[in-house]
């Protein structure tokens, strides 16, 4: 199987990046140590569609060490790092991805990776599952199951399951406690601001930062914006999340109001058209917009283009949209995930947990996939505890144990 990547000569830099993150991923190191010996995935094939950067590469290599044949593609045209793709090819994986691929190339890559005829899949955002349920249906009977990395992908899966159209068991890795509580909150919280700050080279303190969506990702984005000294405003559609934001100490208002006063806008809702024409029309000169939701539809870019008199790149990953009245509005990273398109994704210590969830979900499907009917499942609860224990040990953090009397008091035995 031929790989499709930008340039194999980039591999040395990719290897360096992978070596770096390995130092900070003790859960994955423990997994590698154990399962490279027992090789539970021997004879099995996997297709992985994830943001193709160093942490992802480390996990893909661990699946290979554990016996699997692995084909991998990117889950977003701008998040693939070409040196990482090259390093993985050198390490014997099948790689179909390059940075800045067109929409057509993006889906061709997934299609090509599927030629491996996978037993197990890992998806991020739902495009791989979608292709299996449409163009590549002949592969369905072979599949034991898969897991999904992100909130948006889980929404799509639940929709498919509700219509009775999901054809194999999928684990909502995103919904595991050890994933969303850390990845969505602390991961997105940090990597988003890292992406925005390295792209703009501007100060965050004192700015009005408008965060749309107060789910786990929005909570993280808001918490870190506050830490950087911003005046944080939340927009929400869910009354409960809006109250949470109020009691977390943030101002909450509709986007129509926030649009007039925001300096930086950040969308993390998973929905489309969160910022649209009527908002662009009232924004301040110099307002900046970025997205950290999975798809590039949260800021309505066609409408932004339509109401602008010009569009041009003014700095790497920053486009200026000049308005008829002379105002300049800025869009970061084409409205794609700013933390991956203009950064390196979540910190390694965080992806250590998320990919621990992914590994053990795949192992669970390997062992039990045939017993599960097509549906969306949570990762078994005890795996959360196992991952947390490995992480705590690696951090040198000890915790208390219940006494026999305490266990009895809580009716635990």
Which of 294, 371, 283 is closest to 304 using CA atoms? 283
215 is in an annotated binding site: yes
Helices (H), 201-283: 216-227, 239-247, 255-261, 277-280
Contact 131, 75 (CB under 8 A): no
Task: Report residue 291 as tokens.
Answer: 């997205």
**Interface with ligand ADE (CB under 6 A), residue from 27, 122, 210, 340:** 340
Count CB-CB contacts under 10 A for residue 330: 18
Strand boundaries in 253-298, DSSP class E: 264-267, 288-291
Determine the Cα–Cα distance for residues 347 and 279; give it in Å rounded to an integer: 33
Nearer to ligand ADE (CB atom), residue 100 or residue 206: 100
Q: Name which position in 15, 51, 99, 156 contacts ligand ADE (CB under 6 A).
A: 51
Question: Using the rule CB under 6 A, which residue among 55, 130, 179, 391 binds ligand ADE?
Answer: 55
Give 332's strand partners.
318
- Here's the x/- map for ligand ADE, 81-120, by CB under 6 A: it reads as ----------------------------------------
Question: Quick one: which segment of 49-57, 240-248, 255-263, 283-291 binds ligand ADE (CB under 6 A)?
Answer: 49-57
Q: Where are the alpha helices (DSSP H) in 228-325?
A: 239-247, 255-261, 277-280, 301-306
Of 79 and 308, CB closest to ligand ADE: 79
DSSP state of 248: T
Which stretch in 6-14, 46-54, 164-172, 259-267 sits in contact with ligand ADE by CB under 6 A? 46-54
Q: Report the candidate in 220, 175, 169 with the shortest Cα–Cα distance to residue 194.
A: 220
Does 214 count as an annotated binding residue? yes
Determine if residue 151 is labeled as part of a ligand binding site: yes
Residue 210 to residue 106: CA distance in whole angstroms: 31
Measured CA distances, 383 to 26, 293, 354, 387 (Å): 16, 27, 12, 6
| Number of residues binding to ligand ADE, judged by CB under 6 A | 15
- Going from the C-alpha of 97 to that of each of 42, 45, 412, the distances in angstroms are 25, 18, 49
Is 346 annotated among the ligand-binding residues? yes
Could you tell me the smallest distance in angstroms from the CB atom of residue 346 to ligand ADE? 4
Q: Give me the least distance between CB of 325 and ligand ADE, in Å please.
A: 37
> Mask of contacts with ligand ADE, 143-182, x by CB under 6 A?
------xx--------------------------------
Smallest gap, in angstroms, from Cβ of residue 134 to ligand ADE? 23
| Given 56, 73, 267, 292, the residue binding ligand ADE (CB under 6 A) | 56
* Per-residue interface string for the shown chain with ligand ADE, residues 113-132, x marking contact by CB under 6 A: -----------x--------
Is residue 11 close enough to count as binding ligand ADE by CB under 6 A?
A: no
Least spacing, CB of residue 37 vs ligand ADE, in Å: 26
Token couple for 94: 């099948």
283 vs 340, beta carbon nearer ligand ADE: 340
Task: Please report the beta strands in 51-184, taking only residues with DSSP state E, as ranges in sequence order.
Answer: 69-73, 94-96, 120-123, 145-148, 170-172
Contact, 299 vs 331, CB < 8 A? yes
Helix (H) or strand (E) holding 31: helix 26-38
Shortest spacing between CB 13 and ligand ADE, in angstroms: 17
User: Could you give the CA distance from residue 140 to residue 142 in angstroms, rounded to a whole number?
Assistant: 5
Q: How far is the CB of 122 from ligand ADE (least distance, A)?
A: 10
Tokens standing for residue 33? 């140590």
Sequence ranges of the binding site: 124, 149-152, 179, 183-184, 213-220, 236, 292-294, 339, 346
Sequence ranges of the binding site for substrate: 124, 149, 179, 183
Binding site for ligand ADE (CB under 6 A): 50-51, 53, 55-56, 124, 149-150, 187, 191, 339-340, 345-346, 351
């Amino acid at each position: 199987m031929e790989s499709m990547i930008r340039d194999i000569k980039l591999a040395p830099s990719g290897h360096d990046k992978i070596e770096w993150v390995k130092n900070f991923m003790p859960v994955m190191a423990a997994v590698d140590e154990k399962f490279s010996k027992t090789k539970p995935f021997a004879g099995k094939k996997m297709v992985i569609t994830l943001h193709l950067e160093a942490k992802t590469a480390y996990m893909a290599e661990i699946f290979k060490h554990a016996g699997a044949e692995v084909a991998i593609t990117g889950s977003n045209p701008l998040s693939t790092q070409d040196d990482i793709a090259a390093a993985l090819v050198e390490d014997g994986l099948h790689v179909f991805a390059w940075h800045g691929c067109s929409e057509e190339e993006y889906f061709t890559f997934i299609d090509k990776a599927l030629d491996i005829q996978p037993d197990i899949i890992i998806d991020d955002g739902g495009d791989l599952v979608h292709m299996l349920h449409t163009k590549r249906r002949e592969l369905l009977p072979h599949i034991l199951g898969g897991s999904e990395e992100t909130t948006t992908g889980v929404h799509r899966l639940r929709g498919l399951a509700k219509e009775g159209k999901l054809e194999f068991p999928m684990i909502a890795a995103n919904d595991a406690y050890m994933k969303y509580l850390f990845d969505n909150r602390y991961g997105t919280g940090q990597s988003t601001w890292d992406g925005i700050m390295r792209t703009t080279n501007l100060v965050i303190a004192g700015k009005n930062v408008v965060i749309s969506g107060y789910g786990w990702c929005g909570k993280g984005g808001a918490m870190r914006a506050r830490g950087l000294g911003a005046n944080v405003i939340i927009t929400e559609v869910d009354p409960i999340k809006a109250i949470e934001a109020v009691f977390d100490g943030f101002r909450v208002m509709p986007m129509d109001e926030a649009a007039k006063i925001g300096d930086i806008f950040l969308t993390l809702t998973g929905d489309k058209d969160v910022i649209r024409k009527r908002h662009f029309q009232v924004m301040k000169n110099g307002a900046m917009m970025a997205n950290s939701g999975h798809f590039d539809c949260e800021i309505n870019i066609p409408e932004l283009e339509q109401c602008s008199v010009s569009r041009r790149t003014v700095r790497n990953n920053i486009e200026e949209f000049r308005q008829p009245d002379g105002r300049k509005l800025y869009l970061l990273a084409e409205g794609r995930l700013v933390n991956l398109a203009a950064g390196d994704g979540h910190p390694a210590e965080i992806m250590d947990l998320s990919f621990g969830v992914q590994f053990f979900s795949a192992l669970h499907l390997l062992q039990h996939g045939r017993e599960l009917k097509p549906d969306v499942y949570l990762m078994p609860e005890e795996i959360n505890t196992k991952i947390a224990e490995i992480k705590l040990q690696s951090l040198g953090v000890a915790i208390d144990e219940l006494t026999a009397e305490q266990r009895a008091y809580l009716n635990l035995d």
